[in-house]
């Protein structure tokens, strides 16, 4: 518990144009945009499919982090080379990100329950701005919205068109009102076979993480810093291998247990024999 409260207290910020200390690898991915689902990608990204720099939905990386069972974090607002640009977001746009992620995961097969991931909006400080200035800006822009009925208004997902919250943002911008910048950290937690939420109340010898199909019915895996599409055959092979490894580990554990039990009973026998 002490660790948790320390974590909450620790202030976490990014600074505009800084290069982050982490690199893209098996559990970290940078994205300069917030197109979560494939339908949110603007049409130009599909026209330029052959270009190396074409944009991919965030969903792929999240899907891959789920399917390795090891989890990982996608950083929205950090571009490929690790430079922090941040994303300007109003409170309703932050609500939009959370709700559209929920919508996306509800379309996965099987769906992803909320205890498997978390979303964090980490403020980005301007190159010369202080923490206090940014916090003041956040509390001001957030409070402009938090008291209104807008917060209960449904957001529009699964489209590349602007949602009402984006239109509000543009209107606000035209009036010269700036929104704070954030890096949005979406973290998939590593699979914990002992978490009661992951067992469905059924006792299992091998509790493997589920393989999730994404919103298009595809399955991705993470290999080093890249996301790879898996075929049904790849998945079957991988699952067989994982079950084999898990079973072998369980057999080894049981053998050791049996060996230690028989040692105990041997020494007990010896003790009996030596009694006069």
Output the CA angle 16-184-53, nearest 5 degrees: 75
Whether residue 198 contacts residue 207, with contact meaning beta carbons closer than 8 Å, is answered with yes
CB atoms within 10 A of CB 191: 18
Q: In terms of CB distance, is 67 or 92 closer to Zn ion? A: 92
Q: In terms of CB distance, is 22 or 173 closer to Zn ion? A: 173
Q: In terms of CB distance, is 155 or 158 closer to Zn ion? A: 155
Give the nearest distance from C-beta 152 to Zn ion in angstroms: 12
Beta bridge partners of 228: 221
Give the nearest distance from C-beta 66 to Zn ion in angstroms: 25
Give the nearest distance from C-beta 26 to Zn ion in angstroms: 32
Q: In terms of CB distance, is 97 or 125 closer to Zn ion? A: 97
Select the residue whose beta carbon is closest to Zn ion and give its number: 163
Whether residue 30 contacts residue 47, with contact meaning beta carbons closer than 8 Å, is answered with no
Q: In terms of CB distance, is 71 or 180 closer to Zn ion? A: 180
Q: In terms of CB distance, is 29 or 40 closer to Zn ion? A: 40
Contacts of 59 (CB under 8 A, 6+ apart): 36, 37, 38, 104, 214, 215
Give the nearest distance from C-beta 153 to Zn ion in angstroms: 8
Question: Using CB atoms within 10 A of its CB, is residue 9 exposed (0-12), middle (13-18) or buried (19+)?
Answer: exposed
Give the nearest distance from C-beta 95 to Zn ion in angstroms: 7
Q: What is the binding site for Zn ion (CB under 5 A)? A: 96, 155, 163, 165
Question: Using CB atoms within 10 A of its CB, is residue 26 exposed (0-12), middle (13-18) or buried (19+)?
Answer: middle
Give the nearest distance from C-beta 86 to Zn ion in angstroms: 19
CA dihedral (127, 133, 139, 143) in degrees, to 10, reads -100
Residue whose C-alpha is closest to residue 187's, from 61, 14, 8, 2 = 61
């Amino acid at each position: 518990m002490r660790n948790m409260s320390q974590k909450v207290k620790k202030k976490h910020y990014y600074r505009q144009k800084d290069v982050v200390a982490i690199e893209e690898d098996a559990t970290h991915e940078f994205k300069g945009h917030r197109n979560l689902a494939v339908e949110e990608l603007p049409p130009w990204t599909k026209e330029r499919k052959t270009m190396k720099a074409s944009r991919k939905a965030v969903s792929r990386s999240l899907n891959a982090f789920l399917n390795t069972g090891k989890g990982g974090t996608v950083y929205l607002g950090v571009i490929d080379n690790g430079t922090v640009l941040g994303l300007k977001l109003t409170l309703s746009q932050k609500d939009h990100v959370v709700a559209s992620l929920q919508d996306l995961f509800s379309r996965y097969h099987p769906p992803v329950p909320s205890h498997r991931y978390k979303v964090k909006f980490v403020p980005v400080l301007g190159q010369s701005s202080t923490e206090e200035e940014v916090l003041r800006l956040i509390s001001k822009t957030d409070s402009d919205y938090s008291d209104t009925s807008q917060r209960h208004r449904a957001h529009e997902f699964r489209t590349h068109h602007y949602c009402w919250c984006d239109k509000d943002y543009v209107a606000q911008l035209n009036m010269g009102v700036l929104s704070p910048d954030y890096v949005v950290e979406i973290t998939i937690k590593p699979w914990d076979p002992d978490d009661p939420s992951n067992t469905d109340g059924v006792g299992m010898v091998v509790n493997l993480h589920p393989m999730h199909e994404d919103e298009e019915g595809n399955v991705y895996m993470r290999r080093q810093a890249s996301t790879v599409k898996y075929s049904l055959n790849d998945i079957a092979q991988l699952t067989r291998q994982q079950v084999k490894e898990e079973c072998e580990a369980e057999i080894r554990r049981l053998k050791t247990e049996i060996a230690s039990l028989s040692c105990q009973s041997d020494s007990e026998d010896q003790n009996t024999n030596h009694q006069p």
